[in-house]
A = this chain, B = another copy of it.
Amino acid sequence: MRISVRIMQLPVASSPVRDLLALTSRPEVISFAGGLPAPELFDLDGLRAAYDLALREPSVLQYAPTEGNPDLRALVSARLTGLGLPTSDVLITTGSQQALALVATAMLGPGAVVAVEEPTYLAALQCFRMTGARIVPVASDADGLVPSSLRSVVAAEKPDLLYLVPTFANPTGRTLSAARRVEIAEIAAAHDLWIVEDDPYSELRYRGPSVPPLASLSDRTIYLGSFSKIGAPGMRLGLLRAPADLLRTLTIVKQAADLHTSTVDQAAAANYLAHNDLDAHVARLRHEYGARRDAMIAALPATVPSGTTWSDPDGGMFVWLRLPGAVDSAVLLQEALRHDVAFVPGAAFFATTPDHATFRMSFTTNTVADIGEGMARLAKVLL
């Protein structure tokens, strides 16, 4: 049966992380693979009350404006403004993955060029590949994206947009320094480059002072936020902040994508923000996740071979590691699974040439005790 020429040409590979999550769902596996929030820290009672309140009015079950629930947009805009990003309006999206897909649909296509920090969030790579755009990597180091590498890429490739996770990046956990943010904003202004600042993690800071969002430094920035890491990913609520003209265009693209995001989930989130202390909830997450981060970092020297390097994240969910020698972390994963422990091999996070010695570990989903046990299992594989 012919499907279609175009389907056959689509670079449609399923996400290695999502495929891996299926493998690691055996209850005996301690998985550092997923980028999942800890379910025991969800505010289940608070959210159940917020849904119950929402479902007192039949209008919550009706079609709704594509832009999103006006109360939620106002509450989210006020929250962003309070966090140092003055915001007059946002588009509510079906998770921030949809925000990324809308940007890709509106701004990319065959012939377009997108520059990405390397390594980077693999679902962003999937999304960009699906448009037929060419992806070009920009180097990063411990302080995030390297401005001189961006200058070279801009000169050689003239990208339409730059995608990065500047704060507590996925997969590296690294944060772009304040000085580099200013420099990147200047490069964007000088070269008509759009920046896509993907920022799901910045509220999960465990130490150090906060760094200004790129969007506060450059009006050529499309800022993507998420309720998934500070609220609950199951609700699929993201947000997109962009200059007004572009926000209007992206709203029309969203109309074709799913008409609008769930009226119920949006109303529940608006109720939750109006009647609960999200800052206190986030403080609790910071406290718990910070302890988990510390436990993983403390265990690393006794877990990995000498010569291994790793990132030392100030926040977020991830540690990024590189083993010495010519090893393939995908092969090591098979051995790790036999020891009931899992991580994500790093290759999939590279736009072009993968570094097979790298891998990503998440410290948020497991308790401190389980992290200790998981690291002991991993030591048997790696040492």
| Interfacial residues, chain A to chain B (CB-CB below 8 A) | 1-4, 6-7, 10, 12-15, 18, 22, 34, 36-37, 39-40, 42, 44, 47-48, 51-52, 55-56, 58-66, 93-95, 97-98, 101, 105-110, 112, 123, 126-127, 130, 160-161, 192, 194, 219-220, 228, 232-236, 243, 245-246, 249, 251-253, 255-265, 268
Residues of B within 8 A of A110 (CB): 110
A51 touches B55 (CB 8 A): yes
Q: Are A234 and B264 in contact (CB under 8 A)?
A: yes
Q: A4-B112, A264-B265 are in contact. List 16 more A-B contacts (CB 8 A).
A: A1-B245, A6-B109, A12-B106, A12-B253, A14-B255, A34-B63, A37-B62, A39-B61, A51-B52, A51-B55, A61-B233, A62-B234, A98-B257, A130-B253, A264-B268, A265-B265
CB pair B51 A264 closer than 8 Å: yes
Task: Give which listed residue, B7, B18, B22, B194, contacts A4 with CB less than 8 A.
Answer: B194
Q: How far is the CA of A260 from the CA of B263 in the complex (A)?
A: 16
Chain B CB within 10 A, most for which of A4, A66, A160: A4
B36 touches A58 (CB 8 A): no
Known: A36-B62, A61-B44, A252-B14. A97 touches B4 (CB 8 A): no
Query: Chain B contacts of A40 at CB under 8 A?
Result: 58
This chain: how many copies in the complex?
Answer: 2
Give the top 9 A-B pairs by smallest Cβ distance, nearest first.
A234-B263, A61-B232, A48-B55, A39-B58, A61-B234, A98-B258, A94-B258, A12-B252, A127-B256
Please indicate the chain B residues that have their CB under 8 angstroms from the CB of A235 in the complex: 61, 262-264
What CA separation (Å) do A258 and B93 show in the bound complex?
9
Chain B residues, Cβ within 8 Å of A194: 4
Distance in angstroms from A3 CB to nearest chain B CB is 6
